[in-house]
Amino acid sequence: MVVHMDRNLFLDAVKDELFKGKLTHPQVVGITAILDAWEERFPHADRRWLAYILATAYHETAYTMQPVRETLAQSDARAVEILETAFAAGRLSWVKTPYWRPDEDGRSWLGRGLVQLTHKRNYEAMSTLTGIDLVADPDRAMEMDAAVTILIEGMLQGSFTGHKLADHLNAATEDWVNARRIVNGTDRAEKLAAYAMAFHAAMRPDAAHGMIARLKAWGLRVIARLTL
């Protein structure tokens, strides 16, 4: 039997722990799109996987939970300009070939979506996975439905690096830190682990207990000051 989470409690919990006490409408829309897709396609799957998926979107979209273009630019041209400047200044030392430079057809394979899909080969692979010709129109990777499918299926199947969610979160292992290898080596792996654990904690029925505990502690401090 599938036990559905209380989404109101979940959103209240992540709002306090991850979104500085406030969720915008676009953030709610993005979270909801991921939750809807997950419950429709993988209702029996490990919820730790869902938590890490949400954490990845949270990080890769700069907390917006909306599909974005790399650098958060509003156009490919501006994103390319920002990336070229950073590359020339030596701030992208891990990049050997500037993948964002437009090809002979004028298309740039810079990062897009909820998980920053890059390189033409990945757009080709995700075209097969989504049924959308992302090679003909890379910007379609920023459509919510496509972005959610790329995010979830890519992390489940190990499409990005060969690592998949089941490699790091399974019956014998709970390695939140190395789960980052699914997308991007160990870059900011500890931060992603903390985000994922916060999302996972918010899914439990007792998700509100942390807030209650903080309120009780605050109340005790107030009482202590009043009795001095």
Report the C-alpha gap between 108 and 69 in whole angstroms.
11
Report the C-alpha gap between 74 and 186 in whole angstroms.
28
| Cα 54-20-55 angle, rounded to 5 deg | 15
The answer to whether residues 61 and 30 touch, using CB atoms and an 8 Å cutoff, is yes
What pLDDT was estimated at residue 223? 47
- Paired with 50 in beta bridges are none
What pLDDT was estimated at residue 204? 81
Alpha helix stretches (DSSP H) within 61-143: 76-88, 120-130
Query: Per residue of the chain (228 residues), what is the pLDDT tens digit?
Result: 455 789 999 999 999 999 999 999 999 999 999 999 999 999 999 999 999 999 999 999 999 999 999 999 999 999 999 999 999 999 999 899 999 999 999 999 999 999 999 999 999 999 999 999 999 999 999 999 999 999 999 999 999 999 999 999 999 999 999 999 999 999 999 999 999 999 999 998 665 555 445 444 444 444 444 444
Across the chain, what does the average pLDDT equal? Answer: 90
Helices and strands per DSSP (H, E), number in the chain: 10, 2
What pLDDT was estimated at residue 169? 98
DSSP structure string for 83-142: HHHHHHTT--TT-SS-TTS--TTS-----EETTTB-SHHHHHHHHHHHSS-TTT-GGGGG
Q: Which two tokens stand for residue 131?
A: 């049924």
The answer to whether residues 217 and 19 touch, using CB atoms and an 8 Å cutoff, is no
